[in-house]
Amino acid sequence: MPGLSKTTLYLPEAAYQRLKALARRQGRPAAELVREAVAEYASRHGVRRRPTSLGSGRSGRGDLSERAETLLRGMGRR
């Protein structure tokens, strides 16, 4: 099958029997269920991308936190 890698998976006998029964009930190959389960697990536990908006307000200045009070002084007054 193109795009797939072959691997060996050892399961406890009880888990293997449940997998086979589930595959029979769904009319799908057990390997397909395993691929689906691995993909779901990887998506939940994989590296999460940071939002693209993160850092969008970056000023390039490293002293803003030290100057915050000075910079905000008078803000909100007319």
SS3 77: coil
- The residues near 11 (Cβ < 8 Å, ≥ 6 apart) are 19
pTM over 0.85: no
| More confident: 60 or 38 | 38
What is the residue-averaged pLDDT of the chain? Answer: 88
Q: What is the pLDDT of residue 37?
A: 96
